[in-house]
């Protein structure tokens, strides 16, 4: 039964909602709602994806779009600010902090602060340390609320990251969450004492949706899932499949997902003569992805650090594959070795090393007992460390601590 004794109302702030690839946010909100937490969702932009995961239909939280015109006129900007000045207790003190921010961020922050106070929201939590967190930070100042955020990967590693903005977002937050110990170390090395509040809470899974099955009798199918972008390393996977074909290894490979590299990857498959071996399936609903993972003899996540610095944090689909019993091979990028412990819960190979990737794939395809050993140990790790109900309970304690602090300050008149 849900625990309805937990009373704070939380505002989740995201750039777009929903998004096909961000199942971890939906899973997190669903786990909160199952525990009795009241959540409102605020999105800075409307969705642009053409496919959505079916779990979105289970979310009860209302969604508010903080709509701002593409071209924000001075009249629209000042009209919203005049409304904010009349209603928001922290408007004057927060205005100085907004001096260097974009007009759009300030405008949306004012909208968010007004809506949050109207809805009785006590704390804001943003996902990704970019515009969503900046808007949450300003809204918290304007409305005298608290805020926290979860940092993932592109928002801290990509070459486009503005480190001064990221430092401000970290400094003013009551708490900063990130998805791996690797990320914690990175942020603390980069920002020193101001990042001492950063803590790791892993993305989790609702394990009732990911039942384990033994992989020892599965057909020799390799499955990979992700956006078709450089950091996923699918070009290396296709090259490894070419090597497997030249070695006369029996296999097929499915790559699930869409993205800007689709044409290039398809051309590579054609050039290597892999049309009968490697299939690009495009984006699929999660139930179909689960079906594919349950039939996979190997799940491949050959992640790399892109030339722009972009990289994966700890892909949720990798955790899903581990839960379902798909033996995994991945690379030594960011937090991945925290889940794939080499020769214990899967295989780790150096990134961008096609030879090592080919050898690992061949080994798993050829040794069913080894697949079972790794898969069983992977499932145990997932149950112990990546259960979403355990992990979101820790996150709710973060929210509870933040709202307790601000309520105590208000009681003593601070």
> How far apart are alpha carbons 41 and 124 in whole angstroms?
10
Maximum pairwise Cα distance, the chain: 75
Q: Are 274 and 241 in contact (CB under 8 A)?
A: yes
**pLDDT at residue 5 tops 60:** no
Phi and psi based region of residue 331 (left: phi greater than 0; alpha: psi -120 to 50; beta: remaining): beta
Dist CA 175 CA 163 (whole Å): 18
Give CA–CA dist 180/182, Å, rounded. Answer: 5
Does pTM surpass 0.85? yes
Sheet (strand 221-225) strand order? 278-282, 252-256, 221-225, 298-301, 328-331, 347-349
The proportion of the chain whose per-residue pLDDT surpasses 70, expressed as a percent, equals: 94
Averaged pLDDT for residues 368-386: 98
**What is the pLDDT averaged over residues 305-328?**
96
Q: For residue 123, is pLDDT > 80?
A: yes
SS (H, E, C) 53-81: CHHHHHCCCCEEECCCCCCCCHHHHHHHH
| pLDDT band per the 50, 70, 90 thresholds, residue 55 | confident
pLDDT of residue 72: 66
Q: What is the pLDDT of residue 257?
A: 95
Sequence-distant (≥ 6) Cβ neighbours of residue 54 within 8 angstroms:
285, 286, 287
Asked if 41 and 12 count as a contact pair (C-beta separation under 8 A), the reply is yes
Q: What is the pLDDT of residue 165?
A: 94
Q: What average pLDDT score do residues 342-370 get?
A: 98
Taking domain 9-204+388-411, whether its CATH number is 2.40.30.10 is answered by no
- Identify the residue with better confidence: 99 or 283: 283
Residue-wise pLDDT tens digits, 364-373: 999 999 999 9
pLDDT score of 414 more than 50:
no
The per-residue pLDDT for range 77-97, each reduced to its tens digit, is: 777 777 777 788 777 777 788
Residue 278's H or E segment, with its range, is strand 278-282
pLDDT for residue 361 is more than 90: yes
Q: Which two tokens stand for residue 263?
A: 């044409």
207-385: in CATH 3.40.50.2000: yes
- Residue 74, pLDDT > 90, answer no
What pLDDT does 90 receive?
Answer: 77
Confidence of residue 413 (pLDDT cuts 50, 70, 90): very low
User: Which residue reads 């019993």 in tokens?
Assistant: 325
Q: Would the pLDDT of 199 be above 90?
A: yes
In DSSP notation, 326-374 reads --EEEES-TTGGGTS-BTTTBEEE-TT-HHHHHHHHHHHHH-HHHHHHH
Every domain of the chain with CATH number 3.40.50.2000 lies at 9-204+388-411, 207-385
Residues 205-223: what's their mean pLDDT?
96
Span between the terminal Cα atoms of the chain, in Å: 38
Reading the block at residue 267, the tokens are 């051309």
């Amino acid at each position: 039964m849900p625990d309805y004794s937990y009373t704070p109302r939380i505002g989740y702030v995201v750039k777009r909602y929903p998004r096909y690839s961000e199942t971890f946010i939906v899973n997190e909100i669903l786990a909160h709602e199952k525990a009795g937490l009241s959540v409102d969702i605020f999105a800075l932009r409307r969705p642009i994806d053409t496919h959505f995961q079916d779990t979105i239909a289970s979310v009860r939280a209302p969604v508010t779009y903080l709509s701002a015109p593409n071209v924000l006129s001075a009249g629209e900007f000042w009209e919203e600010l005049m409304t904010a000045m009349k209603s928001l207790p922290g408007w004057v003190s927060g205005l100085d902090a907004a001096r260097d921010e974009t007009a759009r961020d300030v405008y949306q922050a004012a909208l968010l602060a007004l809506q949050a106070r109207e809805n009785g929201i006590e704390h804001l939590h943003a996902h990704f340390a970019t515009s969503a967190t900046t808007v949450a930070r300003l809204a918290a100042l304007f409305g005298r609320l608290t805020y926290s955020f979860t940092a993932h990967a592109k928002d801290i590693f990509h070459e486009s990251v503005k480190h001064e903005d990221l430092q401000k977002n970290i400094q003013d937050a009551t708490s900063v969450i990130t998805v791996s110990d690797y990320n914690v170390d990175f942020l603390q090395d980069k920002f020193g004492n101001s990042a001492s509040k950063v803590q790791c809470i892993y993305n989790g899974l609702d394990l009732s949706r990911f039942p384990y099955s033994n992989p020892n009798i599965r057909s020799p199918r390799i499955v990979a899932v992700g956006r078709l972008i450089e950091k996923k390393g699918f070009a290396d996977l296709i090259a490894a499949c070419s090597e497997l074909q030249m070695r006369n290894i029996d296999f097929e490979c499915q790559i699930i997902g869409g993205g800007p590299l689709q044409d290039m990857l398809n051309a590579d498959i054609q050039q290597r003569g892999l049309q009968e071996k490697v299939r690009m399936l495009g984006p699929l609903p999660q139930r179909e992805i689960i079906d594919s993972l349950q039939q996979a003899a190997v799940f491949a996540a050959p992640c790399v650090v892109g030339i722009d610095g972009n990289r994966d944090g700890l892909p949720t689909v990798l955790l899903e594959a581990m839960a379902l019993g798909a033996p995994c091979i991945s690379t030594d990028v960011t937090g991945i070795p925290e889940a794939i412990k080499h020769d214990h819960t899967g295989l780790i190979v150096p990134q961008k090393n096609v030879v090592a990737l080919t050898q690992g794939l061949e080994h798993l395809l050829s040794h069913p007992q080894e697949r079972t050993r790794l898969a069983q140990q992977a499932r145990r790790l997932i149950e112990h460390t990546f259960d979403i109900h355990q992990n979101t309970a820790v996150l709710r304690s973060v929210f509870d601590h933040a709202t307790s602090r601000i309520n105590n300050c208000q009681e003593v008149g601070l």
